[in-house]
Amino acid sequence: MEKEKINEVLSIMLGVLSVVAIGGKLIQNDFTIDTIFDAVVNFSQVAVPVLAILFISISMRKINETYLKVGRSALEKLQKKHSDILIGPKYNRENYDPEKGKGKEYLFIADTNSNSKQRAKFISIPPLDEGALSIYVQKGTLVYGLKYKSNEATESEIKAIQLAVKESVIDKLEKEYTGCYELVEDTPDAAIIIDFDEKKMKGKMYHDAIYQCADQAIEVIKKYKK
């Protein structure tokens, strides 16, 4: 998204500089018929690629916003189904204002029957706009959501649940979405990160894929609850 904004700004700057340069040339040559004609030709040569870049950039932004909206909708539906363990999507700090600083929005795993504000990230919202679904299993997942004691949430236990989630989600992907995704290999604290092919995953299909994969993951996680 940031790259698209940079492209837009650079395109506008290029357009403005070109218009200034063409205007300067007209003034220098006293607005003769020939120089006016040359200016129109020069402006057209500059305007077409600049407008093309802007059109593509704005179109991509709208597509990304649509993916984010669709993916978020799927997770809101999932939270309602699993409201006993999921909260959000929401920002990772209380009273967080996204206009005033950095931060990420997540769907969280937590014990929603207690007054505790402790929670563990389950799914990151931002990557959804690029067709990516990141599903996390961490120590907090076990302690805050699954009732593990802190000393029970060992590295081996975390890895075991991560693997169970990954295998179950991959099974769903292979049955329903073959050829429409790739797996991201470098996943430090994630059980699985799926990069969907946006060209193939449109609207309802993307919504269903996000919902089904996340649902598959949370069903597996809940089986480990103490």
In tens, the pLDDT along 37-68 reads 455 545 555 555 554 454 444 444 444 458 88
**Residue 150, domain extent:** 65-222
How do residues 173-193 score in pLDDT, each as one tens digit?
999 999 999 999 888 889 999
pTM metric for this prediction: 0.70
**Average pLDDT value for residue range 136-156:** 94
Residue 118 confidence class, pLDDT cut points 50, 70, 90:
confident
Task: Mark whether 153 and 195 lie in a shared domain.
Answer: yes
Q: What is the pLDDT of residues 78-96, one digit of tens each?
A: 999 999 999 989 887 655 5
| Same domain? 19 vs 35 | yes
Domain co-membership, 50 together with 106: no
Lowest mean pLDDT among 51-55, 149-153, 210-214: 51-55
Q: Which one of 63, 82, 112 terminates a domain?
A: 63
pLDDT band at 3 (very low <50, low <70, confident <90, very high): very low
Could you tell me which residue, 70 or 50, shows the higher pLDDT?
70
Per the structure, the count of domains in the chain is 2
Q: Are 43 and 93 found together in one domain?
A: no
Q: What single string gives the DSSP state of each residue in the chain?
A: -HHHHHHHHHHHHHHHHHHHHHHHHHHHTTT-HHHHHHHHHHHHHHHHHHHHHHHHHHHHHHHHHHHHHHHHHHHHHHHHHTTTTEEEEEESSTT--TTSS---EEEEE--TTSS----EEEEESGGGGGTEEEEE--HHIIIIIS---GGGS-HHHHHHHHHHHHHHHHHHHHHH-TTSEEE-S--SSEEEEEEE-TTT--HHHHHHHHHHHHHHHHHHHHTT--
Last residue of a domain, which of 45, 63, 81? 63
